[in-house]
Structure 1
């Protein structure tokens, strides 16, 4: 039986934000880890996600190695026995969204963002719900790896925030804020 929504819950509007780092060819990782270490990028991710629930897949969680402080880790997994300290395992995106919304309501912080945090299958399932994408575009083209889902760039307004030139072994990269031109699927 579904819980009765309070007036506060009905008035609160939630939206999903995708946070991703991807290469020119949309590669986001090798299935277990990131393919690059970019100065300042982890600090930016922390800034973007603090106080928010993160929806991610189990391999993404495992690659991080722990639940990130100040955020809820909602981990989508097919393994019903999987458990990790500080993580809430779920079997579907719908349940992940409900868990994330409930957590935000409990926090009473006024925060309304749910972060889509990867990997590839999670991005594929959740991208239609995202109003914004906070992207780090990396000037690299790995030959193999997990890819971010194909999306039509014409459907998004792209604002370049900052650009960094390649330096030594570190590829060039840039921060972008993309907003969907049309409405995303509703989370409410």
Structure 2
């Protein structure tokens, strides 16, 4: 997972991000380019287009949703099949399927997640989308880096 959230797990409001932090967006790109990214329909619509140099997978219940340049699935478990297929096609051992949101998608995939790339933002304000609660006793911090507007951590499930 790649996520930026506030102190209470805030990730969005009105289908938009709560902040614009160029350094965090640069980090997001670095973490996701060349990988399969998985997102919900609302997250895709907030981005407005497929992200370049990534396999964009969108999960939706809407069977009429068929934008160009993305793989649409209706069952989140299908993402695992796509990831296994991509990993074997690429013949790599370190393939990552990266979940990028939103709240419902994070909540579904959290029990299956091995690694979280987390940007913690000192946000104070309204939100209507949240990252699910995480029991941090189940996670080891592999890296922690302080930036002007956020703290970046890499968490690995113990």
Q: After TM superposition, is the score higher than 0.5?
A: yes
Name 2:66's counterpart in structure 1. Answer: 83
What is the aligned counterpart of 1:176 among 147, 153, 158? 153
Q: 1:100 aligns with which of 64, 76, 83?
A: 83
> Gaps spanning 5+ residues in structure 1: where?
1-17, 166-171, 182-188
The Cα shift of 1:154 comes to 1.3
Q: Is the 8 A contact 1:52 1:104 kept in 2?
A: no
Paired residues, number: 158
CA contact (8 A) 1:52 1:111 kept: no
TM-score (norm 2): 0.92
Secondary structure at the counterpart of residue 22 of structure 2: coil
Larger Rg: 1
| 1:43 is aligned to 2:26 | yes
* Structure-2 separation of matches of 1:92 and 1:71: 20
> Where does the alignment leave 5 or more consecutive residues of structure 2 unmatched?
none
- Partners in 1 of 2:91 and 2:104 — Cα distance? 30
TM-score, normalised on structure 1? 0.78
SS of the residue 1:54 aligns to: strand
Map of 1:15 onto structure 2: none
Of residues 74, 79, 92 in structure 1, which corresponds to 2:57?
74
Aligned-pair Cα RMSD in Å:
1.5
Query: 1:93 is paired with a residue of what secondary structure?
Result: coil
